[in-house]
Amino acid sequence: MTELLLNEAAYKKVIQEAIPGAKRFVWIATADLKDLHVETTKGRYVPFVSVLADLVSSGVGVRLIHAKEPGPRFRKDFDRFPDLIHSDLFERVLCPRMHAKMVIVDGRSAYLGSANLTGAGIGAKSVNRRNFEAGVFLTDPKMVSELCEYFDEFWIGNSCIKCGRRDVCPDPIV
């Protein structure tokens, strides 16, 4: 199945439903990473990193690739969750060439679209303040498998070996 997600539909489907429902792993790729708050089932707003920390503490692996250093508010929130700093289940790579925006959950579903992991991109900003975004939510096993392979090839460093930007890369994988 392929479902078109426009604007805040990506927030609802990916951030509120798919990611919190993960059982084994969540892989995220984004170019930009900023302060992002999400609504809980109790109607409160919490930093998205707390959702990731909850997943990690329940045994779900999280991989995060981003293109530039996160904003200061994100870093401040991140530092409040030691599970993300000390757990082997949370891994992070910074790659200045990463501009794909995708979320893969348990190898069974994936989001692929324009939204960065920011409040204005895929977050809980009001309709009048958020970016205009478009993406698709996929459950087709072949397509999800291809995205998993793409992400994993990057993750193990195959893109780093011949990268022409190693001189500006703060965190080469290989």
Q: Quote the pLDDT of residue 107.
A: 98
Q: Quote the pLDDT of residue 132.
A: 95
The mean pLDDT values, 10 residues at a time, for the chain of 174 residues are 95 96 98 90 89 97 94 91 92 93 98 95 87 97 98 91 84 78
**Domain extents for the chain?**
2-164
Q: Quote the pLDDT of residue 43.
A: 83
Q: Quote the pLDDT of residue 173.
A: 81
| Dist. CA 13–CA 5, nearest whole Å | 8
Q: Quote the pLDDT of residue 171.
A: 78
Q: Quote the pLDDT of residue 15.
A: 95
Cα distances from 139 to residues 103, 104, 114, in angstroms, run 12, 10, 18
Residues in CB range of 37: below 8 A, 6 or more apart: 45, 46, 47, 48, 119, 123, 124
Q: Quote the pLDDT of residue 125.
A: 84
25-30 vs 61-66, strand pairing mode: parallel
Q: Quote the pLDDT of residue 13.
A: 97
Outline where 22-162 has alpha helix (H).
48-57, 72-79, 82-86, 119-122, 141-155
DSSP state of 33: B
Q: Quote the pLDDT of residue 123.
A: 84
Strand ranges, E, within the chain? 2-6, 25-30, 37-39, 45-47, 61-66, 90-94, 102-105, 109-113, 134-138
CATH number of 2-164: 3.30.870.10
